[in-house]
Amino acid sequence: MDIKKGLKEAFRKLSAKVTLDKESIKEFLKEVQIALISADVPVKLVFELTKKIENSVFEDKIPPAISLKEYVLKKTYDELCQLLGGEKPTIELKKKKILLLGLYGSGKTTSAAKLAYFYKNRGLSVGLLCADIDRPAAYEQLEQLAKKVGASFYGIKNEKNLEKILELENQVKEDVLIIDSAGRNAFDQEMAEQIKRIEQKIKPDEKILVVSADIGQIAGQQAKQFDQVLKITAIFITKLDGSGKGGGAIAACHQTKVPIMFIGTGEKIDQIEAFDSKKFVGNLLGFPDFESLIEKIKQAAEKEELKMEDFESLDFETFYKQLKAAKNLGPLSNVLGMLGLSEVPADLVQLSEQKLKKYEVIINSMTKKERKNPKLLKESGRIERIAKGSGLKVEEVREFIAQFNKMEKLFSGIKKNRGLQKRLEKVLGSKKINEILDNFKPN
Ligand SMILES: Nc1nc2c(ncn2[C@@H]2O[C@H](COP(=O)(O)OP(=O)(O)OP(=O)(O)O)[C@@H](O)[C@H]2O)c(=O)[nH]1
Ligand SMILES: [Mg+2]
């Protein structure tokens, strides 16, 4: 399963839930686990992540201003950001020398051009230096890319003496110098020595390891090896566009504590991004940031046309309206679900079409006054009259009234619970709720 699809679906399912219980949270976390493991995130990290979420959801006090659902989603979002990169590293826009390192085909040369593009766009002049003495066409490749991106190019064609090439550094006048180095099949002694030689000669300000996302969690081991030899300063993860293992590569690299600074999202030179875990996670989940997720949940509720007026008073007419809406997983159940109200009676939310029709008939058999004032039904003879008028049994009318009373109890529950009111205010985006609930007169 693809990580994006898996996580998005898990978040979507949880957002749509009317009420949350332990089971549904566990089910959600299991889906998160599957999505992450399928993206090659190390299993140990996945279990640590879900354990942390579980502990805080089941054991911590949930702040009163937030619903359980919001809390679970927020906690998961935060932990995913922590797992997949953490804090966004700062990229300094100043004069500097950057050495790129990495194994064969990881994307060093392409990424050198992308970095040139990145810094040029931020007002710095850039030089590209070819220090790859092994790959026959390395010189031409970088030369062409330099031309394309509008950077100066430095190199000596067919020169095998690395020191001689590195002498070119003295001629560089640009603000940012990016040095492309030779790759290897695997990390070995020879490679370690070569990159050390470059490091000593150039003394780069930044040493960026280029790793490809398609190797998944192995990227972490590579980062560790390179870091042990010459303390890398940042990681550039390439090919995130085509790999289902990007999450694994990011999580494993983040473990090494070397910041992931850039990502490559395509073959073209403008397909570079400064890495931001929040943006990455938001993109996986299909919204730019957490606030917009909450906004989305709110909008979904609003779309179902929940109005503040619907809370103003509960009579048989508004009750029917709510039931109808609740049937389509509409406003009331949505809102109550968002508030983490687990006691929404399931039989209210899952009314059958048939029952709803029956209720409609009952309401139609009431007088206008009765519809607006449920208390009137306590007067003898009225229920019987309604039953007769609607062609239903007295018990059926009584059942309808019982449902109404359940809803009314829920409303007065809200009236008494200040924390809940606050949450409701937040969801509905109004301060008027107190006023409105005060107007609601229980039966
Ligand atoms: N889809 C995609 N392809 C990429 C990305 N970055 C690099 N590539 C491709 O990966 C291949 C290898 O890229 P190079 O830049 O030549 O890799 P290298 O590390 O310099 O390779 P050697 O010099 O042989 O070690 C090329 O076909 C690039 O177009 C990326 O972010 N996304
Ligand atoms: Mg190369």
Closest-lying ligand 1 atom to the alpha carbon of residue 138:
23
The DSSP bridge pattern shows strands 96-101 and 206-212 to be parallel
Q: Is the dihedral of CA 97, 98, 99, 105 positive or negative?
A: negative
CA 198 to each of CA 97, 164, 180, 195, 202: distance values in angstroms, whole numbers, following the listed order? 12, 11, 11, 5, 6
Residue 235 structure tokens: 């990681």
Residues above pLDDT 70, as percent of the chain = 78
Q: Which residue ranges have their beta carbon within 6 Å of ligand 1? A: 102, 104-110, 132, 135, 138, 183, 238-239, 241-242, 264-267, 271
**pLDDT, greater one: 230 or 111:** 111
Rounded Cα–Cα distance for residues 201 and 230 (Å): 13
Work out the pLDDT band at 330, boundaries 50, 70, 90: very low
Closest-lying ligand 1 atom to the alpha carbon of residue 238:
31
Mutate to test the pocket of ligand 1, among 130, 191, 238 (most ligand atoms within 8 A of CB): 238
CATH superfamily, domain 96-275, is P-loop containing nucleotide triphosphate hydrolases (3.40.50.300)
The DSSP bridge pattern shows strands 126-131 and 176-181 to be parallel
Greatest CA separation for the chain: 107
Closest of 283, 207, 282, 208 to residue 241, by C-alpha: 283
Work out the pLDDT band at 418, boundaries 50, 70, 90: low
| Cα of 224 from ligand 1 centre, angstroms | 21
Which residue type occupies 432?
K
Predicted confidence at residue 407, as pLDDT, reads 75
Beta bridge partners of 237: 211, 263
Predicted confidence at residue 344, as pLDDT, reads 55
Predicted confidence at residue 13, as pLDDT, reads 85
| Cα of 109 from ligand 1 centre, angstroms | 7
| Cα of 245 from ligand 2 centre, angstroms | 22
Work out the pLDDT band at 326, boundaries 50, 70, 90: low
Q: Where do the H-state alpha helices sit in 175-217?
A: 189-202
**Residue 429 pLDDT greater than 80, yes or no:** no
3-class DSSP state for residue 188? coil
Is the overall model pTM greater than 0.75, yes or no?
Answer: no
| Cα of 99 from ligand 2 centre, angstroms | 13
**Residue 329 pLDDT greater than 50, yes or no:** no
Place of tokens 């906004």: 295
Rounded Cα–Cα distance for residues 190 and 352 (Å): 73
Residue with CA at minimum distance from ligand 1 atom 30 = 239
Residues 167-225 pLDDT 10s: 999 999 999 999 999 988 888 888 888 889 999 999 999 999 999 999 999 999 999 99
Q: What is the mean pLDDT of residues 361-371?
A: 88
Closest of 75, 30, 23 to residue 52, by C-alpha: 75
- Answer yes or no: same fold for 96-275 and 304-439: no
Predicted confidence at residue 190, as pLDDT, reads 86
Residue with CA at minimum distance from ligand 1 atom 27 = 267
Residues 6+ apart with CB under 8 A from 382: 370, 376
Predicted confidence at residue 424, as pLDDT, reads 61
Work out the pLDDT band at 402, boundaries 50, 70, 90: confident
| Cα of 110 from ligand 1 centre, angstroms | 5
Mutate to test the pocket of ligand 1, among 267, 269, 270 (most ligand atoms within 8 A of CB): 267
Predicted confidence at residue 373, as pLDDT, reads 87
The conformational region for residue 231 under phi > 0 = left, psi -120 to 50 = alpha, else beta, is left
Residue with CA at minimum distance from ligand 1 atom 13 = 107
The CATH number of 3-86+287-294, from 1.10.540.10, 3.30.70.360, 1.20.120.140, 3.40.50.300, is: 1.20.120.140
Place of tokens 């603000």: 175
Rounded Cα–Cα distance for residues 340 and 92 (Å): 44
Q: How many residues does the chain have?
A: 443
Work out the pLDDT band at 293, boundaries 50, 70, 90: low
**Residue 434 pLDDT greater than 50, yes or no:** no
The radius of gyration of the chain's CA atoms, rounded to the nearest angstrom, is 31
Q: What is the mean pLDDT of residues 359-377?
A: 88
| Cα of 422 from ligand 2 centre, angstroms | 58
What does 125-138 look like in DSSP terms, one character per residue? -EEEEEE--SSTTH
Mutate to test the pocket of ligand 1, among 110, 226, 262, 263 (most ligand atoms within 8 A of CB): 110
Q: What is the mean pLDDT of residues 296-314?
A: 51
| Cα of 9 from ligand 2 centre, angstroms | 39
Mean pLDDT of the chain, nearest integer: 83
Domain boundaries, the chain: 3-86+287-294, 96-275, 304-439
Q: What is the mean pLDDT of residues 48-72?
A: 83
- Asked: is 304-439 a CATH 3.30.300.30 domain? The reply is no
